Amino acid sequence: MLLEVIALTPEDARAAAEHGADRIEFVSVIEEGGLTPSLALIEETAAACSLPIHVMIRPHSKSFMYAEADMEQMIRDMGSLRKAGANAFVLGALTPERTVDEEKLKRLLDAADGLPVTFHRAFDEARHLEEAFETLTRYPQVRTILTSGGKPSVLDAADEIARLVSLSRGTGIEIMAGSGLTPASAAGFASATGVRSVHFGSGVRVNGSQTAPIDPVRLSAVRAALDGV
C-alpha cells in the first residue's frame, strides 16, 4: 500500500521518511490547495530526504484553466525544479467546458521530460470523472490520478473510488485516494474500495491542522493500519 504525504518544508519531508511515508508531494501555500514551491526548498529537500519528491506545479488557485502566461511560468518552473531534484510532477489543466485540456497537458508532459506525472485534483472538477479518466489513459506519462471521487471528502465517495479503481486495472494508471482520510478510516476505506495508494495532508499533522508539523504518532498509526490491509 503506497502512502503519499504532503510536505511543506524539508523538516516535513524528513519526518515523513522517518515515520512510514513512501513518497512526498511537496507544495507551498497549502491554504490555497497547494501551489508550486520554491526552487530552494526542493534543493534542500532533495539533499536531505531519500523519498521520491513529487512536486506540485500550480501557479495560482484561481482555477485549473491556465492562460499562456501561466503555461510559460509552469514550464519554466518544471525545468528548474527537475534540475533541483524533483522526481515527478503533480499537475493538471481543464478547459472551460471542464474536460481535460489535452493541448496544455501535452505541453506540460513535454516539459516534464520523461518524469512521471500525477494528474491532481483538477480531476475532481471535471464534468465527468470517467470521461476524464479515459482521456488520461491516452498519456502513459500520467502514472497517478489523485482524487477524492469528485466529493469534498473521499470518505463520501467510496463507490466512485471503487469504480475508478476497477476502470484503472490494466491501464498503467494508479488511483490515489485523498482528502478527508484519517488514521482511523484509511485501512477500512482501502479494503472497501480496493484502492492501493492513499494521500494524506492534515490527517497526519498535529491537531489535524493543515499548516502544523507532521505528527509522528498519527503518521505511524496510518502506516501500521495500511500495512494490515
Write the pLDDT tens digit of every residue in 45-67.
999 999 999 999 999 999 999 99
- How much is the pLDDT for 208? 95
- Residue ranges of domains in the chain, CATH in brackets: 2-227 (3.20.20.380)
The 10s digit of each residue's pLDDT in 83-96 is 999 999 999 999 99
The owner of cell 511560468 is 73
Mean pLDDT of 175-181: 98
| Whole-angstrom distance, CA of residue 73 vs CA of residue 57 | 10
The 10s digit of each residue's pLDDT in 108-133 is 999 999 999 999 999 999 999 999 99
Nearest residue to 51 via CA among 23, 71, 27:
23
Read off φ and ψ for residue 204, nearest 5 degrees. Answer: -120, 25
The owner of cell 466512485 is 160
The 10s digit of each residue's pLDDT in 184-198 is 999 999 999 999 999
- How much is the pLDDT for 213? 97
Largest CA distance in the chain: 47
Residue 21 confidence class, pLDDT cut points 50, 70, 90: very high
